Amino acid sequence: MKDHFTMDEPQPRVLDETKQGVIGTPMDRPDGARKVSGTAGYAADHKVEGMAHGVLVRATISRGRVTDIGRASVMDLDGVIEVVTDPRMTRNPAQGMAGEAPVQPGDDVHYHGQPIAVVVAETFEAARDAAQRLVVTYRKEDAASDPDATPDTEVGDPETAGDFDAAWAKADVRLDRTYTTPSQVSAAMEPHAAIAEWTDGRVELRSSLQMVRFNKAELADTLGIDADRVRILSPFVGGGFGSKLGLGPEAVAAAIASEKLGRPVRVVMSRQNVFDAVLRRSETRQRVRLGASKDGQLLALSHDDRVSNLDGEGFAEPVSQASQFLYRADGLSFTQTVARIAATPAGSVRAPGEAVGMVALEAAMDELADELGVDPVELRLNNLPDTHPMDGRAFSTRRLADCLQDGAARFGWADRWTRGTRREGDWLIGMGVASAARSNMLVKSAARVRLQGDRAVVETDMTDIGTGTYAILSQIAGEMLGLSPDRVDVRLGDSDLPGASGSGGSFGASSAGSATFLAAKRIRRDIARKLGCPEDALTLQNGRARGDNREADLSELIDQELVGEAEIEAGKTDESHFSAGFGAHFAEVAVNEWTGEVRVRRMLAVMSMGRILNEKTARSQALGGMIWGIGTALTEEVQSDARDGHVVTRDLANYHVPSHADVPGDMQVVFLEERDDWANPIQTKGIGELGISGAGAAVINAISHATGHRTYDCPALPDRVISSLAP
């Protein structure tokens, strides 16, 4: 029987009372040795007998219709098996939880690079050659691919609280600035890949996916079959950052081709394919207006944005998401405009909304501090709200003030100098700060725990995309059952196992971890009954059970397997309390006054995000986010041809993620002690996206402090920095 739990009230801190002592420790990943030795099996690594190889054929126009696919032009090539086309292949599968209908039916082409067919051959090389040679005929249509040249298509209704216009009119100091950020891509280390095989009317798909429970339903829907005829395997995923939330074209193509040909088919995207056809982060144009009194109290806050996406896509980058709860003001207003363009669809990329929206908001807050002549840290501290500014909900926990103050002390903020006055030779030196915030979520999730003597097994279709799921679930189960983590086996990424939240939105650890906690808690009840003591008197530690003056080894006490299965979902606590992670980023940079080159010299993040499950994996997540913040501020920019929307920066040689030389050796992360009883039974919050939220803004603000001038367009490339210095 499965225990079902709804989060309707604050939860007791059970993990503070258990005795095994593994929660929060910097335990190594149990899967680490396999990953660094190359023995972990990623999607494309598997060898299946009789497997053929598929390469996607992509549209070379930005809008129109396929009138003919010249199959005969390649069928005579050595090794070519078939050119597979199917209306189901030309859709853009809805992302993980979106549940949206297909928007690309039939032979319609909606963007340059859209997958329209797959060539299958005996070897990858033959399939690639044929895909490049295939003659495709189109009927072209006019299309707008440049968001800057496209009229506003959809203007949303303003989200407001209070009276912004009245508050703006009353302000003594007003700041009205426009910021831009370019399109970005996830660029996960492992390219998108899939192997499909049909047996007795059931398809097994090995693929690189983040949300297996949802992906299973998507594939069944795409193929027009019942979900119980689909099995998805994703035990190892080499990064996702949102790009693998939903079912990708490689998975659909592999499944359809395998079904038609009656043999296994593998489809692997090249790095260039990934840039062309995988969801991007939208570029943004953001207008931030801040109005304040002379004493530094915010009166008016408005954050309006313009983003883009393909026709019919329901997703829009939630740019002002954090702006709606970070600071208080008498009047708040937020409006979003979406331009519909013929370009690679936009979707969730790490910290959708905050990653780019907080760059603008926090840069504006810094400039307002300059205008008021107050310290940027003090301005933030003096404008923190008591409740959610938009709906009045209480914060479950919020230690943002502590993060700012602790970070300022650690970083030496008190020694900060006047803007534009410190130099080391040709280098101008500056320090910057930014708040960090990311809303916290609990997503329906299930897990099963089996106890066999003094060994346990955790089973869930949850994924590990490099975030440390194997580690934290073994720690949670070990802590609850009194076992060292090496006595716990974790099985992930199999859709035949209980359905978890998946990895996305920074909700994975909290959701799947809570389900594992509850499943293990059920087993604790059974152990207490076997030992003959009340559950609240039971202590489990080092494979031994104690309670009411009774004591026994688990290996002797448990004579048959005990099984606990549990499912958790959000409940009434969401209605009464707002849960979010908070933090503060600090950065020091050096800017060359002649070349405009920016070097980040050190960074510090101080974060409060609930209970830390594994100090090492949490720190790794925070550092990864901070590094992406450097990329946002200084290097990352997808460039597309305005004529047809095709991506120009199609690989990691042209799309510049931060390299080792761009990242300072002095990167520090500090976690403040916190428990969020309103969030979930294990009192955790997400970390993966909090690390990037605000990080880029700290770098941008440090550049301004160094030079005495501001840049409003990201990334702050050398030419833009030099232009900002011009008189």
Angle (deg, nearest 10), helices 695-707 and 615-634: 50
DSSP reduced 3-state for 193 = strand
Q: How far apart are CA 280 and CA 307, in angstroms?
A: 12
Contact 278, 310 (CB under 8 A): no
285 neighbors 189 (Cβ within 8 angstroms):
no
Q: Tokens 């606990």 appear where? A: 564
* Distance, CA of 692 to CA of 350 (rounded, Å): 8
Question: Burial, 378: exposed, middle or buried (Cβ in 10 Å; 0-12, 13-18, 19+)?
Answer: middle
Instruction: For residue 350, give Cα distances in angstroms to 625, 632, 687.
Output: 9, 12, 11
Q: Cis bond leading into 105, ω under 30°? A: no
CA distances from 665 to 599, 604, 618, 627 (A): 12, 11, 18, 11
C-alpha–C-alpha distance, residues 495 and 549, integer Å:
43
Residue 102, both tokens: 């297909």
d(CA 190, CA 44): 9
Q: Where in 275-377 does DSSP place strands (E)?
A: 284-292, 298-309, 331-334, 336-340
Distance CA 304, CA 65 (A): 36
**Cβ neighbours for 189, distance < 8 A, ≥ 6 positions apart:** 238, 239
Complete DSSP assignment for 50-76: T-EEEEEEE-SSSSEEEEEEEGGGTTT
Distance CA 670, CA 667 (A): 10
Q: Pairing mode, if any, of strands 298-309 and 336-340?
A: parallel
Amino acid in position 444: K
Contacts of residue 62, defined as CB under 8 A and 6 or more positions apart, other chains included, come to 109, 111, 112, 143, 145, 342, 343, 644, 645, 646
> What Å distances lie between residue 121 and 53, 76, 89, CA to CA?
5, 11, 18
Q: Report the sign of the C-alpha dihedral through residues 319, 321, 326, 328, in that order.
A: positive
Strand, helix or coil at 522? helix
- What whole-number distance in Å separates Cα of residue 568 and Cα of residue 462? 14
| Cβ-proximal residues to 282 (8 Å cutoff; 6+ apart), any chain | 183, 307, 308, 309, 316, 317, 346
Peptide bond into 102 cis (omega under 30): no
* Candidates 197, 317, 567, 689; catalytic one: 689
Q: Which sign, positive or negative, has the C-alpha torsion 239, 243, 245, 251?
A: negative
The answer to whether residues 408 and 433 touch, using CB atoms and an 8 Å cutoff, is yes
Residue ranges in 490-585 assigned as alpha helix (H) = 508-531, 554-557, 573-576
DSSP string, 483-503: --GGGEEEE-SBTTSPP---S
Helices (H), 591-647: 615-634
Distance of CA 455 to the CA centre of its chain: 33
Q: Any catalytic annotation for residue 689? A: yes
Q: Are 519 and 3 within 8 A, CB to CB?
A: yes
Active site residues: 689
